[in-house]
Amino acid sequence: MSSKLLAFSALVFSSILLSSGCAKHETETAQSEQPKDPNQLRIAVVANGTTGSLDFIGAPEIIAKDPIFLEELKKRHVKLTWEPVTTAAVATLVNENFLNNRIDFAFYGNLPSIFLNATGTKTQIIVPGGIGSNVYMVVPSQSKATSIEELKGKKIALHRGRPWEVNFAQLIQDKGLKLSDFQIINLNPQAGTAAIAANSVDAFFTLSDALILEDKKIGKIIWSSRNLPRDWKMRAELWGSKQYLNANPEVTQLLADATVRAYHWISEHQDEYQQSQTKFGQPLTVIQREQDNNSAWKNNWNPSYDIQILTAHYDRVIKHAIDHQLIQDPIQSSELLDPKFTQQAVKNLKLEDYWADQP
């Protein structure tokens, strides 16, 4: 692997500047030498093995047990392999697996996918991730700060290169601030939590773990996206290798159908689904509060492939990556979008009217 490609891997997960030109050539060469096997389907998924069995976070847990999906793959002699990744290193592992042709699809976030596409390894959004996840600004419980403006010049823990970095940038830009106005400490969520508990940072920008910190009276939330429009949420989608989906559209469609079918099931089984997610360590009350997105539960799982919303979102993500020198070569958001699989899945499942009344 070239030194520049190694630098890319470091950037995605340590925020080191990417030089993508050489990586493009090497990636394209590697892909041409390793054609996709039409009889396999490899999906990266965030997983947890602490319960004694391998459990998948979110909709993939439903997809993995979908009898229709499994039977259709069996009929076509397609071997399904789930590639588990940890929450602490989702971006690292998924992008490395895509780069090295070890996976065909992944459920993961927006900014790391931009890094990947900037190298020339092309992926597209097969099924959007619904309304998205909330982001939070939390400060130590004894802090007097009540707004992001009051944190100017202070230490803020933020895991660089992860999807919620874009939301942090969105927040400070909305307040007329910039990244250099703060002392950004690059910490993963686990380390950020510890830093808040030890009062070694003045704030922590993160996901729903902020709710746990608040419940334990270790921290207090001074800002969140919970009651804000969907363009303030952190997005994660089902991404697929463009090479694979072009070569295997039928199998790709089966996965799209299974994903939309999972969203539909979850939208009708709120209590059962939320209870199932407690196995990953978060209390039920935290899960319920996090998934209260100021809209109907049903809408949280709307797979609508809204080109306008997705284009605006990924234009902003790409601009952030370029402005902060996370990528050198710009890419077009239109290259990331392919709505046909989701649209066909909705038709196949006769769900055209199911989410029609949702915004």
CA distance 142 to 160: 26
Q: Do the domains 3-131+233-348 and 136-224 sit in the same CATH topology, yes or no?
A: yes
Using DSSP's 3-state secondary structure scheme, residue 161 falls into coil
Give the least confident one: 25-39, 68-82, 161-175. Answer: 25-39
How many angstroms separate the Cα of 51 from the Cα of each of 54, 61, 81, 111, 279? Answer: 7, 14, 20, 30, 7
pLDDT tens digits along 143-153 = 999 999 999 99
Q: Give residue-wise pLDDT tens across range 103-129.
A: 999 999 999 999 999 999 999 999 999
CB atoms within 10 A of CB 128: 24
Q: Are 218 and 117 in contact (CB under 8 A)?
A: no
Angle between helices 164-174 and 307-323 in degrees, nearest 10: 80
1-15, 111-125, 209-223, 266-280: least confident range:
1-15
Q: Residue 63 in 3-state DSSP? A: helix
Residue 25 has pLDDT above 70, yes or no: no
Q: State mean pLDDT over 323-328.
A: 90
Please give the pLDDT value at position 280. 83
What CATH code would you report for 3-131+233-348? Answer: 3.40.190.10
Instruction: Provide the pLDDT for residue 13.
Output: 39
3-state SS assignment for residue 162: coil
Mean confidence (pLDDT) of the chain: 87
Concatenating the DSSP letter of every residue in 329-353 gives: S---GGGGB-THHHHHHHHHTT-TT
User: With contact defined as beta carbons under 8 Å apart, do 156 and 163 qualify?
Assistant: no
Rg (CA), the chain: 20
pLDDT, position 144: 96
Q: Element (H or E) spanning 140, and its range?
A: strand 136-140
Could you give the C-alpha distances from 249 to 195, 254, 320, in angstroms and in order? 46, 9, 32
Look at residue 213 and tell me whether its pLDDT is greater than 90: yes
Mean pLDDT of 215-228: 94
- Report pLDDT for 332: 95
d(CA 169, CA 163) in angstroms, rounded, equals 11
In this prediction, residue 12 carries a pLDDT of 41
- Give residue 136's identity as a one-letter amino acid code: Y
What is the β-pairing status of strands 40-48 and 55-56?
Answer: antiparallel
| pLDDT band at 329; cut points 50, 70, 90 | confident
How many C-beta atoms lie closer than 10 Å to residue 29's C-beta?
A: 11
> What is the rounded CA–CA span in Å between residue 292 and residue 278?
16
CA distance 161 to 325: 12
Number of Cβ atoms within 10 Å of the Cβ of 324:
15
What are the residue ranges spanned by the domains of the chain?
Answer: 3-131+233-348, 136-224
Helix segments in 42-150, DSSP class H: 60-63, 67-75, 90-99, 110-118
pTM of the full structure = 0.87
Residue type, 61: E
pLDDT digits (tens, 9 = 90+) for 340-349: 999 999 999 9
CATH of 136-224, one of 1.10.287.4070, 3.40.190.10, 3.90.950.10, 3.30.565.10: 3.40.190.10
Residue 17 C-beta-side C-alpha neighbours within 13 Å: 7
Residue 55 phi, psi (nearest 5)? -110, 140
